[in-house]
C-alpha cells in the first residue's frame, strides 16, 4: 500500500511537473524520487536541477546553476601557448599516440588523459576535413580546366580554316577574318595616336634598336616607350582573344602555333626585322592557375620572384631600368626594361638571353595583361627578340585564375643540336612550358600552405623543404644547360651520349676540402614513349638497379611534401635502407619530379638525416637566396621526340613515339693549382656517366619488356 501510494504520488508530481506547477498550485518544481535496491533506499533531488543538468548535457537551453556554469567554463578552457606547442609538435611526429605517450603528454602539459585523447581526436578530424576541402577545390579547378579546354576544342573545330583548301566559302571566311583583324588593328593605332597627340606609328613597336636609346631624348623618352608598350598590348589582346585564322591547334597537344600567313596579312611589316638566320617561334597556351591574379602579377613583375617562380626555366632575371614606377595601385601602369636568361636542361640547347620591355596594365577588375616586347631588331646585339608576347590573366575564383600565355620570338637557333631542332617551335621555349610551370608551382605553394598532405611535417618545415626542392631543380638545370656566360667552364665534350660533357665551377660552399663542383651530362634518344620512361624511372622497386646513390638499398617513400598538378608532380622525401642495417644508418633523399608534355624532370639529392629531422621537427626560416645545406643534384630531363610522334595524330604527345633524355649529376671535387681540373677527375666522371647510361637503358629495356611484353629496343 505504501509503495502504491508513493508511486501514485510520483505520477501526480510528474504530471504537475509537465504542466509547469506543483501540487500546491505554485510554480515550484517538486522533488523527484529514485528508488534503489528494491525500494529500500530513496534519494530525492530538485526536479529543476535534474532537468537543468539534462539540458546542459544536450546543449538545448541555457543553465543558471552555478555548478553547471563552472563545468561549462572548464570545458571551454583554452590551452596555453606552451601546451599547444607541445601537442602540435608531437602531432607533427605521431598523430596516433599510445597510452604511454598520452600519459607522458599529460604529465608534460598538465592536462588530463581525456583532454589529451580528445585533443588528438579533434586534431585528426580537423586535418581530414581540411584535406577533403582542398581535394574538392582541386577537383573543381581541374573541372574548370577541362571545361575550358573542351570549349576551345569545340571552337577550333567549328571555325577550322584550311589554307590549302580551294573551297570558295573557306577562302571568303578567311578574307573576312583578315579584314576584321586589320581594321581592328588600325583603329587601335588611331586611338593611341589621338590620346598621345602624335602621328600614328603602326610599326613603332617593332622597329626600335636595343642600342638606340639616343632615339629618345629628354621628355620624349618615356612618352615613346609608353606608346610602344600600348601598341604591343593591343596586339597581344588580339592574339589572345582570337579563335580563328591566327592560330592552328597542334594535334595531341594543349597549345597552338601561329598561322604565319594570316599574321603577316593582319600585321604587314611587323616582320621587317626577320633577318637571315632568325626563325619565328610563336605559340599560345591556356591553363588554370590556383593562385589569385594579384599574386601572379607580383611574381611576374618582380625579378627575384620571377626567377623563383620558374626555377627550371629562368636562370637569371634583372631589371635594367624602370620607366614608370609602381604606385599605390600596385604594378598597374609599370613599365620596366628587363634582361632574362632562359634555359632548358640539356647541354645540346644553348641558353637564351633576351632584353625586353615589360608592361603591366589592369584592363578591368580581375583582368590584367602583362606585355613583353623587345626594343632591338634581332641584330648583333641579341640572338633573341620578343615580338608582342606576355600573359593575359583573368580571375575565375578568389584563389584561382585563367592564364593565357603567348610566346612570340625571333631567335637564332644555330647552336641547337639537330636532336632538339624539331622541338624548338612550341615545346622547349614555348607558351606551353610557361603555363605548365605556373600551374605546377602555384598548386605546390597552395598545398604547402593550406593542405595537410604531410601532417607529420610542420608548415614551416614543408616550406623549407619546398624551397630546397626548387633550388635543387634550378641547380640541376643550370649545371647542365649550355650557358653562354662564364658560370661553368667546359672541360671536354659536347653533351651527347658518345661525347659526354664535363664542366666545373669554383665554389666556396660545402666542405673546405672541396673547392669546386663538377657537372657531368649527356643527352640521348630512347625508343620509348616519355610517359613510360617517366613511370619506370620513378618506380621505387627498380630504383636499386641503376641508381648509384641507392647502392642496392630498399627505397620507400617517407613523406610527400607537396603535390602539384596530378599525382606525377610531387616533392617527396625517400628513405633508403640496406637489409640488416639499423634504422639510424638510413639514407634520406629529397626528390623533385614533374610531368608535362613540354618537358618532364626527376631531380634528387642525398640529404643528411639529422639535417632533415632538424628542418622538419625544429624548422627555422631559410635566408633569402640560396640558403640551407649544399645539395648536389642528380636527375633526368625528358622531352617527347616530336619526329617519332608525327604519324600519331590525335594521341597525346608523350604517349607514343620516343623520348629525348638528358642525364646529369654534380659532385664536389678538388681543383689543382691554378684552378684547373684534374684529368683523373674528368676521366672518373665520364666512366661513371657511361656506366649509369648503360644501367638505365638496360633497366628500362628489361622492365618495359616485362610489363608490355615486347622490348622497345628490339622490334
For residue 502, count other CB atoms closer than 10 A to its CB: 24
Contact indicator for 202, 269 with CB cutoff of 8 Å: yes
Q: Angle at CA 334, nearest 5°, toward 329 and 338?
A: 145
Going by pLDDT thresholds of 50, 70 and 90, the confidence category of residue 90 is confident
Contact indicator for 467, 449 with CB cutoff of 8 Å: no
Residue 168 inside a domain? The answer is no
* Most confident listed range (87-96, 310-319, 624-633): 310-319
Average the pLDDT over 598-602 and give the result. 93
Going by pLDDT thresholds of 50, 70 and 90, the confidence category of residue 20 is very low
Going by pLDDT thresholds of 50, 70 and 90, the confidence category of residue 105 is confident
Do 437 and 459 have their domain in common? Answer: no
Mean pLDDT of the chain: 76
Least confident of 251-265, 599-613, 614-628, 691-705: 614-628
Which pLDDT score, from 0 to 100, does residue 439 have?
A: 92
3-class secondary structure, 339: strand
Judge whether residue 27 has pLDDT over 60: no
Number of domains in the chain: 3
Do 440 and 468 have their domain in common? Answer: no
Q: Pseudo-torsion of CA 38, 44, 48, 53, nearest 10°?
A: -70
Identify the CATH number of the domain in which residue 107 sits: 1.10.10.60
Residue 531 and residue 568: Cα distance in Å, rounded? 10
Residue 71 inside a domain? The answer is no
| Selected residue with higher pLDDT from 279 and 36 | 279
Q: The cell 641579341 sits on which residue?
A: 382
Do 601 and 640 have their domain in common? Answer: yes
Final residue before a domain boundary, out of 384, 418, 444: 444
Q: Is the C-alpha dihedral spanning 20, 23, 27, 33 positive or negative?
A: negative
Do 286 and 421 have their domain in common? Answer: yes
Q: H or E element: which one contains 402?
A: strand 400-411
Which pLDDT score, from 0 to 100, does residue 709 have?
A: 45
Residue 286 inside a domain? The answer is yes
Judge whether residue 93 has pLDDT over 50: yes
* String of DSSP letters for 651-704: SPTTSSSEEEEEEEEEEEE--BTTTB--HHHHHHHHHHHHHHHHHHHHHHHHHH
**298: Cα separation from own chain's centroid:** 16
Cell readout for 228 is 610602344
Do 490 and 639 have their domain in common? Answer: yes
Q: The cell 597537344 sits on which residue?
A: 253
Do 435 and 468 have their domain in common? Answer: no
* H helix and E strand count, the chain: 16, 21
Contact indicator for 142, 443 with CB cutoff of 8 Å: no
Which pLDDT score, from 0 to 100, does residue 457 have?
A: 74
Residue 64 inside a domain? The answer is no
Residue 485 inside a domain? The answer is yes
Indicate the DSSP class of residue 652: P
Judge whether residue 400 has pLDDT over 50: yes
Do 113 and 253 have their domain in common? Answer: no
Q: Tell me how far apart the 2 most distant CA atoms of the chain are, in Å.
A: 120
Do 276 and 324 have their domain in common? Answer: yes
Cell readout for 110 is 598538465
Q: What is the pLDDT of residues 125-155, one digit of tens each?
A: 877 777 677 677 767 777 776 777 677 666 6
3-class secondary structure, 290: coil
Residue 431 half-sphere exposure toward CB, CA atoms < 13 A: 30
Judge whether residue 205 has pLDDT over 80: no
Cell readout for 426 is 612550341
Find the helix packing angle between 81-93 and 99-109, rounded to 10°.
Answer: 160
Residue 417 and residue 572: Cα distance in Å, rounded? 33
Residue 334 and residue 325: Cα distance in Å, rounded? 6
Domain containing 282: what range?
Answer: 241-444
Q: How many residues does the chain have?
A: 715
Find the helix packing angle between 220-241 and 168-196, rounded to 10°.
Answer: 150
Going by pLDDT thresholds of 50, 70 and 90, the confidence category of residue 696 is very high
Which pLDDT score, from 0 to 100, does residue 223 have?
A: 82
Q: H or E element: which one contains 105?
A: helix 99-109
Going by pLDDT thresholds of 50, 70 and 90, the confidence category of residue 186 is low
Judge whether residue 42 has pLDDT over 90: no
Judge whether residue 261 has pLDDT over 70: yes
Residue 608 inside a domain? The answer is yes
Cα–Cα distance list, 105 to 123, 545, 617 (Å): 15, 44, 17
Indicate the DSSP class of residue 417: -
Judge whether residue 534 has pLDDT over 80: yes
3-class secondary structure, 419: coil
* Beta strand extents in 478-612 (DSSP E only): 489-492, 501-506, 516-526, 554-563, 570-577, 587-594, 600-607
Which pLDDT score, from 0 to 100, does residue 268 have?
A: 67
For residue 496, count other CB atoms closer than 10 A to its CB: 17
Cell readout for 601 is 624532370
For residue 132, count other CB atoms closer than 10 A to its CB: 10
Nearest in space to 309 (alpha carbons), one of 317, 300, 318: 300
3-class secondary structure, 531: helix
Do 325 and 395 have their domain in common? Answer: yes
Which pLDDT score, from 0 to 100, does residue 92 have?
A: 62
Residue 461 and residue 615: Cα distance in Å, rounded? 6
* Beta strand extents in 31-83 (DSSP E only): 31-36, 41-46
Residue 61 inside a domain? The answer is no
Q: The cell 636595343 sits on which residue?
A: 210
Final residue before a domain boundary, out of 401, 423, 444: 444
Q: The cell 602624335 sits on which residue?
A: 198
Residue 223 inside a domain? The answer is no
Q: What is the pLDDT of residues 634-689, one digit of tens each?
A: 999 999 988 766 665 667 788 888 899 999 999 999 888 777 888 899 999 999 99
Final residue before a domain boundary, out of 414, 444, 474: 444
Which pLDDT score, from 0 to 100, does residue 496 have?
A: 93
Cell readout for 323 is 620607366
Identify the CATH number of the domain in which residue 499 sits: 3.30.530.20
| Selected residue with higher pLDDT from 97 and 470 | 470
* String of DSSP letters for 151-201: HHHHHHHHT---TT---HHHHHHHHHHHHHHHHHHHHHHHHHHHHHTS---
Do 415 and 286 have their domain in common? Answer: yes
Which pLDDT score, from 0 to 100, does residue 163 have?
A: 45
Which pLDDT score, from 0 to 100, does residue 76 have?
A: 54
Going by pLDDT thresholds of 50, 70 and 90, the confidence category of residue 550 is confident
Do 399 and 539 have their domain in common? Answer: no
Do 278 and 397 have their domain in common? Answer: yes
Contact indicator for 237, 369 with CB cutoff of 8 Å: yes
Nearest in space to 330 (alpha carbons), one of 299, 290, 307, 291: 299
Q: What is the pLDDT of residues 485-526, one digit of tens each?
A: 567 889 999 999 999 999 998 887 655 678 889 999 999 999
Q: Angle at CA 331, nearest 5°, toward 328 and 332?
A: 85
Residue 344 and residue 95: Cα distance in Å, rounded? 42
* String of DSSP letters for 588-620: EEEEEEE--TT-EEEEEEEE-HHHHHHHHHS--
Amino acid at each position: 500500500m505504501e509503495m502504491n501510494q508513493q508511486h501514485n504520488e510520483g505520477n501526480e508530481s510528474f504530471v504537475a511537473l509537465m504542466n509547469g506547477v506543483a501540487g500546491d498550485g505554485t510554480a515550484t518544481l517538486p522533488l523527484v524520487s529514485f528508488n534503489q535496491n528494491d525500494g529500500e533506499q530513496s534519494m530525492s533531488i530538485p526536479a529543476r536541477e535534474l532537468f537543468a543538468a539534462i539540458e546542459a548535457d544536450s546543449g538545448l537551453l541555457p543553465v543558471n546553476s552555478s555548478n553547471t556554469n563552472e563545468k561549462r567554463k572548464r570545458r571551454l578552457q583554452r590551452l596555453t601557448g606552451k601546451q599547444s606547442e607541445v601537442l602540435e609538435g608531437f602531432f607533427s611526429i605521431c598523430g596516433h599516440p599510445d597510452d604511454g605517450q598520452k600519459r607522458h603528454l599529460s604529465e608534460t602539459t598538465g592536462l588530463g588523459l581525456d583532454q589529451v585523447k580528445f585533443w588528438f581526436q579533434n586534431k585528426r578530424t580537423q586535418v581530414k576535413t581540411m584535406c577533403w576541402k582542398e581535394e574538392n577545390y582541386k577537383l573543381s579547378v581541374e573541372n574548370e580546366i577541362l571545361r575550358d579546354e573542351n570549349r576551345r576544342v569545340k571552337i577550333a573545330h567549328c571555325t577550322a580554316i584550311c589554307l590549302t583548301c580551294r573551297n570558295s566559302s573557306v577562302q571568303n571566311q578567311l578574307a573576312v577574318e583578315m579584314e576584321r583583324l586589320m581594321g581592328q588593328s588600325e583603329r587601335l593605332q588611331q586611338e593611341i595616336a589621338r590620346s598621345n597627340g602624335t602621328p600614328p606609328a603602326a610599326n613603332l613597336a617593332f622597329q626600335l634598336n636595343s642600342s638606340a636609346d639616343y632615339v629618345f631624348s629628354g621628355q620624349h623618352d618615356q612618352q615613346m616607350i609608353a606608346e610602344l608598350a600600348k601598341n604591343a598590348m593591343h596586339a597581344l589582346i588580339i592574339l589572345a582573344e582570337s579563335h580563328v585564322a591566327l592560330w592552328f591547334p597542334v594535334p595531341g597537344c594543349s597549345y597552338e602555333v601561329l598561322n604565319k600567313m594570316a599574321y603577316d596579312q593582319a600585321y604587314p611589316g611587323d616582320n621587317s626585322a626577320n633577318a637571315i638566320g632568325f626563325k619565328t617561334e610563336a605559340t599560345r597556351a591556356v591553363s588554370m592557375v590556383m593562385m589569385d591574379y594579384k599574386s601572379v602579377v607580383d611574381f611576374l613583375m618582380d625579378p627575384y620572384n620571377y626567377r623563383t617562380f620558374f626555377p627550371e626555366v629562368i636562370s637569371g632575371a634583372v631589371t635594367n631600368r624602370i620607366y614608370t614606377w609602381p604606385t599605390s595601385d600596385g604594378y598597374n601602369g609599370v613599365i620596366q626594361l628587363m634582361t632574362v636568361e632562359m634555359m632548358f636542361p640539356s647541354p645540346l640547347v644553348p641558353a637564351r638571353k633576351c632584353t625586353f620591355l615589360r608592361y603591366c596594365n589592369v584592363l578591368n577588375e580581375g583582368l590584367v595583361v602583362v606585355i613583353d616586347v623587345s626594343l632591338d631588331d634581332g641584330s648583333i646585339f641579341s640572338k633573341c627578340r620578343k615580338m608582342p608576347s606576355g600573359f593575359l590573366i583573368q580571375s575565375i575564383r578568389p584563389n584561382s585564375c585563367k592564364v593565357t600565355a603567348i610566346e612570340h620570338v625571333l631567335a637564332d637557333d644555330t647552336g641547337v643540336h639537330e636532336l632538339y631542332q624539331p622541338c624548338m617551335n612550341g615545346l622547349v621555349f614555348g607558351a606551353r612550358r610557361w603555363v605548365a610551370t605556373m600551374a605546377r608551382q602555384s598548386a605546390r605553394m597552395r598545398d604547402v600552405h593550406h593542405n595537410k598532405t604531410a601532417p607529420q611535417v610542420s608548415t614551416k618545415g614543408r616550406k623549407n623543404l619546398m624551397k630546397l626542392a626548387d633550388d635543387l631543380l634550378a641547380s640541376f638545370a643550370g649545371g647542365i644547360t649550355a650557358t653562354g656566360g662564364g658560370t661553368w667552364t667546359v672541360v671536354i665534350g659536347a653533351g651527347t651520349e658518345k661525347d659526354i660533357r664535363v664542366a666545373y665551377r669554383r665554389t666556396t660552399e660545402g666542405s673546405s676540402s672541396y673547392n669546386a663542383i663538377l657537372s657531368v651530362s649527356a643527352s640521348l634518344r630512347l625508343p620509348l614513349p616519355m610517359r613510360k620512361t617517366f613511370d619506370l624511372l620513378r618506380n621505387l622497386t627498380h630504383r636499386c638497379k641503376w641508381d648509384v646513390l641507392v647502392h642496392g638499398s630498399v627505397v620507400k617513400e617517407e613523406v610527400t611534401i607537396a603535390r602539384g598538378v596530378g599525382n606525377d608532380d610531387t616533392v617527396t622525401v625517400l628513405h633508403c635502407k640496406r637489409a640488416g642495417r639499423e634504422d639510424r644508418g638510413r639514407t634520406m633523399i629529397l626528390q623533385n619530379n614533374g610531368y608535362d608534355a613540354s618537358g618532364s624532370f626527376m631531380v634528387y639529392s642525398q640529404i643528411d638525416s639529422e639535417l632533415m629531422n632538424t628542418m622538419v621537427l625544429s624548422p627555422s626560416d631559410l635566408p633569402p637566396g640560396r640558403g640551407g645545406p649544399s645539395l648536389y643534384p642528380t636527375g633526368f630531363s625528358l622531352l617527347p621526340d616530336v619526329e617519332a610522334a608525327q604519324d600519331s595524330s590525335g594521341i597525346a604527345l608523350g604517349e607514343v613515339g620516343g623520348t629525348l633524355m638528358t642525364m646529369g649529376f654534380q659532385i664536389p671535387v678538388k681543383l689543382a693549382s691554378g684552378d684547373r681540373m684534374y684529368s683523373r677527375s674528368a676521366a672518373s666522371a665520364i666512366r661513371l656517366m657511361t656506366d649509369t647510361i648503360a644501367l638505365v637503358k638496360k633497366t628500362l629495356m628489361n622492365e618495359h619488356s616485362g610489363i608490355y611484353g615486347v622490348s622497345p629496343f628490339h622490334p
